[in-house]
Amino acid sequence: MLKALRPLAAFIEGLIDRTGALTAWIALVMIGLVATNVLLRYTFSFGSVWAQELEWHLLAALILLGMGHALQRGENVRVDLFYARFSPGLKRAVDVAAALLLIAVSLAFIKLSIAYVGQAYAINEQSPDPGGLPYRWAIKALIPLGYGLLVLQQFAHLVRLLGPGRDTPDDGGARV
C-alpha cells in the first residue's frame, strides 16, 4: 500500500520544492523592499504605510509558504540531545509520532483559520491605516494554505518513513 503512494509522495515533494523556490524569491523581494524603505526613511525622511505593511505581508508569506520546505530539508530547529542516542527503531517511532502530531496540529490550524479568512473576505477587510494595503483577506488566506502544505509534506514524509527499504529515519523530514 505505501509503495503505491510513493509516486504521490514524490509529487508532493516536488510541489514543496517549487514552493520553496517561490519563498526564496519572496525573501529576495522582501530584502530589497526593507533596504529601500530604510534608505528612503533615513536618507530622504520619506516612508509609506503600504510599503511597511507589504514587508509584514511578505514575511507572513515567507514563513507560511516556507514551513513545509524547511521541514522537508531538515532545516527546522529541534533538540537532538536525546534523539541522537536513540536506536533506529526508536528514532522511527519518534519521527512517526511527531509527523502525526504535526498533521493533527496543522489540521486544527486549517480548521480554525477558514472562518477567520472567510470573515475577512466577507467584509473585504483592508488596512485600517490611511494608505495601507487592501485585500487583507488574501494574506490571511495563506494561513490555511501554508498549513495545508505542511500536512502534505508530513504525509509524504510518513510515506517515505514507513515505506519499504527504510532502515533508519532521516533528519526529521528531509528527503531521502
User: For 34-48, what is the mean pLDDT?
Assistant: 91
Q: Any idea which residue has 507572513 for its cell? A: 60
Question: What pLDDT sits at residue 4?
Answer: 83
E strand or H helix at 48:
none
Angle (CA) 40-126-111 rounded to 5° is 120
**pLDDT digit string, tens, across residues 7-28:** 899 999 999 999 999 999 999 9
Please tell me which residue, 86 or 104, carries the higher pLDDT value.
Answer: 104
Residue 168: pLDDT over 50:
no
The domains of the chain are located at 6-162
Range with the poorest average pLDDT among 72-76, 154-158, 164-168: 164-168
Residue 2: pLDDT over 80:
no
Please give the model's pTM, rounded to 2 decimal places.
Answer: 0.84
Q: Are 26 and 108 in contact (CB under 8 A)?
A: no
Buried b (16+ CB within 10 A) or exposed e, 12-36: bbebbeebbeebeebeeebeeebee
Cell of 112: 480554525
Q: Are 71 and 173 in contact (CB under 8 A)?
A: yes
Residue 156: pLDDT over 80:
yes
Residue 111: pLDDT over 70:
yes
Question: What pLDDT sits at residue 164?
Answer: 67
What is the SS3 assignment for 46? coil
